[in-house]
Every structure is written in structure tokens, then in C-alpha cells.
Structure 1
Amino acid sequence: MPDFIQRRRWARLLDRNAARFEDLPTPEKGWIATMRLALGMSAEQVAMRKGVSRNAVYQAERSEQDGAISLKQMENIAAAMGGRFVYAIVPDAPVEQLKYNQAVRNAQQMALDEPGFATWSVDEQQDWKDDAAAQQLHDMPLGFWDAE
């Protein structure tokens, strides 16, 4: 398991890049067709550059829209059109927020197993959950991501 510093570096990298892709909608026709049409290239011209048939280019465009195209195929077609294919996993929120949300879920689950928890005051319950979440974030135990 990577150390804390390395995880923070990766988190910052993901957070910075998430901001870049935040408002990047996928074109209606898909990236392949959109790039090809923007360049004014026919499917046959792309096919010649890639060394495949025109039908293979059309099939790639359909496969992209269906979510069934391989990353390698996207890379090859992008290169044939003078571009490069870029992919990323973009977190729905800053990485630290995702980790905090999971720690809170874990603490809530742990509270169910805490003897007498239901009899505590609301403030005591919240303090206990806050402390349990903080401990979860600090320790990142093996089962940290098990619960959804």
C-alpha cells in the first residue's frame, strides 16, 4: 500500500485534472466521427491512413457510441487523424472529500455495533461518529472501502 505522501500526490493530480475535464461533454456523434468530420476526412481516408477498410472505421464509430471500443483502437484511430487519444478517471468530488464521505459511512456502520450507542445523547453520538471517522481517515484500515 502506498504511503500517505504518495497518496496525497496522486489525490492532487486527480483533483487538478478533474477540473480540466469538468465541463467536457462527449460529442453526440462520438469523438472519432466528430474529429473526422471536423477535419473534413472521409471514412475511407481515415481507413487508408490506418490500414483498414472504410467499414472498419464506421464500425469503430458505432463501437465508440456503444461503449464497446478498445482504448488501443481509439489510440490508433486518433493517430491516423493526426491526434492523440486521452482517457482519464475523473472523481465526482475532490479525492479527500470522497475519502471523508467513506469514513463517515464507516463510522455510521460502526455505530450500529457500539454497545449502548442508541442511549447516548445526540451530542455524544455525533462526537463518537466524528472521532470514529477521523480514526478511519488516519488509519485507512484494510476494509476501508468495503462498505458502500
Structure 2
Amino acid sequence: MINRRKVRETVLQALYAHQLGEYTPSQVVDTIIKKEDFSKEKELRRFAERLFFRTLEHEEELDEITSKHIRNWDIQRLALIDRLVLRIAICELLYFEEIPTKVSINEAIEIAKRYSTAKSGRFINGILDAALTDLDEQGRINKKGRGLIQKTLGN
């Protein structure tokens, strides 16, 4: 059974391949995202493609948000996996109204723990908490439907 965590991991792999290889986004989608067996779950494949393309489309903005919250450190010096996980999570915070912010952050932490260093989970959590607070204060977090769950749980 494929779930959204597996989809996010696939998107991470696709972004990693795109970053390091000389492939077009469409080639990456064809070889990595479409290779996954989403056949029974068309909604999950659409989510994977939307997340991949939207993360690429807003890469510069997502990196600027991350850079604002890493003190005395250049974003290019971050581990590539951490940088990509942060891009995916911040993209979800900003551009996926139906996904609760806590879900995006928790998923990013778990994926970072699995694919990056031992300290990555705490690092990702700190950056995303600071980014969420900042984006929320700027009025840039707009959640609808299920995405509102966090607001109704007292946060």
C-alpha cells in the first residue's frame, strides 16, 4: 500500500535526481515518479507530480525562506537531503491548502531521520517551526478543509 509518506520519499528521490543529474523535470517524472506503482492510486500520483513540480517552480523562494532561518550558515552548505526535505515541507506549508501544517512538519522530520544524518530531524524541526511562525505572521499560511485541523486543535 502506497501512502503519502512513500509519495514524499519518491518526490525527494526525484528532486535529488533532478538536482544531481542533467535530466529535465519531465524525464525525472517519467523515470522516478511514474515508475512507482501508483496505478491504483491516481490521486497519489497526481499529488507526487504536483509536489515535485511546485517545489521546483518555487525553489528560489523556498530556499530564501530556509536561508532566513539558518543563522550564520550558507544554504549551499546544508546537506542536500536536508535542503530538499525543507523545500518539500515549506512548499506544502505554502501551496497545499489541504495539508495541515503539523502533518507537513512531522513528515519532513521523519523523512530527514530516515534519509539524512542523526541530527537532521531536530534541525529540520527547528527550521520549519521558525519558518511556520514567520510565514503565519506574514499571513502566508492559508489552509482549507483538512488543513484547518491544526487551527481548531488550539494552535
Q: Pick the TM interval, shorter chain.
A: under 0.3
**TM-score of the two chains, using structure 2 as the length reference:** 0.27
For the pair shown, which has the larger CA radius of gyration, 1 or 2? 1
**TM-score of the two chains, using structure 1 as the length reference:** 0.28
Q: Larger helix proportion, structure 1 or 2?
A: 2
